[in-house]
Amino acid sequence: MKRLDGKMLMILIVLLVALGGLSLASMTPQNEIAIVTSAAGKNDNGYNQSAIEGLAKVASQYNVKTKVVETSDSLTVPDALKQLSASGTKLIFSLEYDFDALINGVGGSKPLAEQYPNTTFVVFNANPNVDSNGKTKFKNVISVLFDVHEASYLAGYLSVYVNENLKDLFDTKSYAFNLDKATNRNLGFIGGTASDGIQVFSYGYMEGASLAAGEFKTKYKYTSKYDAGFGDPTVGSSFASSCYTAGANIVFAVAGNVGTGVTSKAADAKRLSIEVDANKDAMQPGYILTSVLKNTNVPVEAISEAFMKGNISTLPSVLSYNLNSGATGITDLAIISKYIKPSGKAKWEEIKAKVAKVSSMIKSGEIKVTNAQAGEKFNPSKVPNIIYTLENTFLAK
């Protein structure tokens, strides 16, 4: 058979495209990118959903095949990672806090990162990819860290200033705040697990609250729970209810869908909550003070872009997103600002200016916030104005 020369081949391709027999897209190698969600699932209104939205943008921009996998009792994170890698997926974002099989291997098996050296694995909220000497173990693992300790610090600082000025800021007839200073100097915090990925929020929140409490020459009680899981809103509702009953006006939730229960209870009780991951301030307008942002779409888009352009090997093994990155911080407070009464506008602007100043001090390094994700340990001396109990088991270690 006579071979087609290059010119004839190109003419044939153009004809096939014109006739619908071949698409140019079908000739592009399909490098599949996948996300393995955390236990909260793809519809968590935040952490997972933000990453999935980022992946959808990548799919549209680069015409790349993508997949979202939700784990369950019958499909564990290691199983999902192994199945995806074995099927040829070259880039996998793993959003669950589960790294053992990937980095160390389990059940006598080699680490998945070693078994599948041609797959790049991206993990979040910790850097497990180091040996006992702190050296990187696998070149095909990228750890993504968000400086949410800094954003949580701002949320803690803001919480105390709002709590100290409730009567001046809000129309108290529209709320049911506890205005008794003897009992309302109490902040609630609920987390999904006692892990570095949750503790990093709690450390920052307490430290920011302690700074503000010191400026008022007072102390705040810290009521907390660290085993809420991520799926059951009733757990959040029950915890928030107990906090509000004990006098707290503000509860911070870092627990996926459990947080939905907290914000719902805040609306029912006519008090305040703080959400996490995405900007959820509009979910219960007027009852969510702010959201501590962890915009997972930002690293998903950036890493996927590097992958599609063939530059992923140039990325560092650890990517950190700070307050300047746009991937973390607190919201612009636009929603809650609508509920500040006219006579409280000046005080509200004063408080926002104080928060902005603290943010600048963090960015400049003048304020150092404990970062559990980086292995930093809790230091009680950094929260002299916070009263916590042995219920905070990780703090008691």
pLDDT in tens, 331-379: 999 999 999 999 999 999 999 999 999 999 999 999 999 998 888 999 9
Adjacent-strand bridge partners of 123: 94, 143
pLDDT value for 10: 38
107 and 231, same domain (yes or no): no
pLDDT at 231: 87
196 and 108 share one domain: no
With H, G, I as helix, E, B as strand and everything else as coil, classify residue 285.
Answer: coil
* Whole-number pLDDT of residue 278: 85
Same domain, 269 and 301: no
Residues 232 and 179 in one domain: yes
Query: Does residue 111 sit within a domain?
Result: yes
The C-alpha atoms of residue 43 and residue 38 are separated, in whole angstroms, by 11
Same domain, 345 and 361: yes
Residues 339 and 384: their CA atoms lie apart, in Å, by 32
Any idea what DSSP says for residue 324?
Answer: T
In a shared domain, residues 209 and 348: yes
Within this chain, do residues 373 and 323 fall inside the same structural domain, yes or no? no
Order of strands across the sheet that contains 141-146:
66-69, 33-36, 91-94, 120-124, 141-146, 318-321
Low-confidence ranges of the chain (pLDDT < 70): 1-31, 390-397
Question: If we measure between CA atoms, which residue out of 48, 395, 371, 43 comes closest to residue 225?
Answer: 395
The sign of the torsion formed by the CA atoms of 158, 163, 164, 170 equals positive
Structural domains counted in the chain? 2
What pTM was computed for the model? 0.80
**Would you say residue 191 lies in a domain?**
yes
CATH number of domain containing 383 = 3.40.50.2300
Task: Report whether 201 contacts 229 (CB < 8 A).
Answer: no
Q: Is residue 240 part of a domain?
A: yes
User: Per-residue DSSP letters for 113-147?
Assistant: HHH-TTSEEEEESS---B-TTS-B--TTEEEEEE-
Residue 282: which domain range? 148-293+332-387
Name the 3-class secondary structure at 292.
strand
Query: What does the pLDDT read at residue 73?
Result: 82
Residues 277 and 303 both lie in one domain: no
